[in-house]
């Protein structure tokens, strides 16, 4: 394939990626948008592999086959509850690729410079041949690109691994607050940039290896210092980091499509992170800097009262008496795989002439849009699903609210307790409804480890047990 055809294919692929990204903002267009992305990525891979100057084609085909089979296997095996950590895992691979490509590009640069010095540059091919033609200024720019790619890539790699551990429950969701943690991060960044300066002055690969190690430690520390309540923002933020790492790789390799795609992912991830921070009343700088300024100024308020349990029979009677019902899904719904049961319950209540809707918090679950995807999978009509801003004013006129596996997003201490770790975070004001039932496995605290006063209110009752078992029992009682 000629250079002209490759460039044309890259332009078409870039347009398809933009259409895919734009389509994901609308639930009705999302399926078509995914196909745009699939076709664009296929076109990009084919154009790259079939392009001029591609070496080791058999090895590339084998690697694509291995990656494709691995991706298919993971996609078939992963559960909906594992989607957040799967995304974090993918981000880590992008960061690791950026580090490896940076190191590989440096080795190719050394090979090209050695060939120029020996007068054998004419025998070079591929990337090394391109490097051999660069001026000293262009080589300096390439070194800057390598440095940025390795720095961002290493932070993304280790940060994503820590995010995976927190999301999968393998690491504590509590924030790690080391004394002087911000000074530690700042000092580490300063050391990285000093090493980068030495690299520009002619120091060897050892400087970039040290940058990768230090940046990796920064990534670990940054994400460990972020609490569970902010993890959905972290996933979005790491998505942005992976995009910028990909863009840096694109500059290094001279691949225009990679630059465009990386910039799209980086910018969209940053915008989404900012929107989510705004929706949670969080400082964007606070989250990306590992909880800067997020310390409480005093002790949290004590929760008084006791959790009052209820049973399936009582819940069925409350549903029968209610004219308006709101379901609030959370991560526990995904864990229990109860989306099918709650969809069937919605259908039956609707058939009885009741108004049934879903209230979705912007960070419900552990991934932006997690609950929307879960309900769409269960074929819950889109017009039943309302965002927090659309439904919050309706709770005082709602007869019955059932919370299924949600905790922090319905916690009134966000409004009432200025010392709460989630203080100022907009929440679903479910406590204003006439009756509230919380489907929960036990009396434990939420993912962020914050006690929820909602569970102790007079109009709230606890329906203990697995969410799917509870919903199935309700359906059975309604027969």
Q: Active-site positions?
A: 408
Q: Do strands 385-387 and 400-404 pair parallel, antiparallel, or not at all (unpaired)?
A: unpaired
477: nearest Cα among 252, 315, 325: 315
Q: Indicate the angle between helix axes 136-167 and 83-118, nearest 10 degrees.
A: 160
Task: Output Rg (C-alpha) for the chain, integer angstroms.
Answer: 26
Q: How many CA atoms lie within 13 A of 320 on its CB side?
A: 11
Which residues are registered as beta bridge partners of 385?
A: 358
Burial code (b: 16+ CB inside 10 Å, e: under 16) for 96-113 equals bbbbebbbebbebbeebb
Task: List, in sequence order, every residue forming a beta bridge with 460; answer none if it has no partner.
Answer: 436
CB 332 within 8 A of CB 440: yes
| The two three-digit tokens of residue 63, written as one number | 């690697």
Tally the residues of the chain. 479
- According to DSSP, the residues that pair with 469 across neighbouring strands are none
Name 18's Cβ contacts closer than 8 Å, sequence gap at least 6.
264
Tokens encoding 360? 């979705």
| Whole-number Å distance between alpha carbons of 225 and 22 | 33
Reading the block at residue 412, the tokens are: 């009134």
Backbone angles phi, psi at 216, to 5 degrees: -65, -40
Look up residue 408 and give its DSSP letter: G
Whole-number Å distance between alpha carbons of 245 and 145: 10
CB atoms within 10 A of CB 378: 17
Strand-by-strand arrangement of the 435-440 sheet: 385-387, 355-360, 324-329, 400-404, 435-440, 460-464
| SS3 state at 376 | helix
Please report the beta strands in 152-289, taking only residues with DSSP state E, as ranges in sequence order: none
């Amino acid at each position: 394939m000629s250079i002209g055809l490759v460039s044309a294919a890259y332009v078409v692929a870039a347009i398809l990626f933009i259409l895919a990204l734009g389509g994901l903002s609308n639930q009705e267009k999302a399926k078509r948008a995914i196909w745009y992305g699939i076709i664009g990525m296929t076109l990009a891979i084919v154009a790259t592999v079939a392009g001029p100057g591609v070496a080791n084609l058999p090895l590339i085909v084998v690697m694509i086959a291995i990656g494709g089979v691995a991706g298919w296997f993971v996609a078939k095996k992963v559960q909906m509850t594992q989607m957040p950590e799967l995304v974090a895992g993918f981000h880590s691979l992008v960061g690791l690729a950026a580090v490896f490509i940076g190191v590989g590009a440096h080795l190719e640069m050394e090979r090209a410079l050695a060939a120029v010095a020996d007068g054998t540059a004419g025998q070079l091919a591929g990337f090394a041949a391109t490097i051999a033609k660069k001026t000293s200024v262009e080589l300096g720019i390439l070194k800057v690109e390598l440095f940025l790619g390795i720095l961002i890539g290493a932070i993304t790699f280790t940060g994503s691994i820590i995010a995976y551990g927190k999301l999968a429950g393998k690491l504590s969701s509590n924030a790690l607050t080391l004394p002087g943690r911000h000074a530690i991060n700042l000092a580490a960044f300063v050391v990285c940039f000093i090493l980068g300066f030495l690299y520009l002055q002619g120091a060897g690969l050892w400087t970039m290896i040290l940058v990768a190690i230090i940046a990796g430690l920064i990534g670990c520390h940054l994400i460990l210092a972020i609490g569970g309540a902010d993890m959905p923002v972290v996933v979005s933020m790491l998505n942005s980091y992976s995009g910028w790492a990909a863009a840096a790789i694109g500059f290094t390799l001279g691949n225009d499509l990679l630059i465009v795609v990386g910039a799209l992912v980086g910018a969209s991830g940053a915008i989404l992170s900012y929107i989510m921070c705004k929706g949670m009343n969080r400082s964007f700088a606070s989250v990306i800097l590992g909880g800067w300024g997020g310390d409480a100024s005093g002790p949290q308020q004590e929760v008084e009262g006791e959790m009052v349990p209820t049973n399936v029979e009582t819940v069925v009677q409350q549903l029968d008496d209610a004219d308006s019902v709101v379901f609030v899904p959370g991560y526990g719904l995904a864990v229990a795989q109860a989306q099918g049961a709650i969809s069937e319950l919605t259908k039956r209540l609707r058939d009885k002439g009741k108004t049934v809707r879903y209230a979705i918090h912007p960070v419900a679950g552990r991934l932006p849009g997690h609950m929307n995807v879960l309900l769409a999978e269960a074929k819950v009509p889109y017009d039943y699903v309302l965002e927090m801003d659309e439904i919050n004013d309706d709770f005082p006129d709602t007869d019955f609210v059932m919370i299924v596996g949600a905790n922090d997003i319905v916690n009134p201490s966000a409004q009432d307790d200025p010392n709460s770790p989630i203080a100022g975070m907009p929440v679903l004001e479910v406590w204003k409804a006439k009756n509230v039932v919380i489907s929960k496995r036990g009396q434990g605290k939420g993912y962020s480890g914050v006690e929820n006063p909602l569970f102790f209110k007079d109009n709230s009752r606890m329906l203990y047990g697995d969410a799917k078992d509870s919903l199935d029992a309700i359906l059975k009682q309604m027969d």
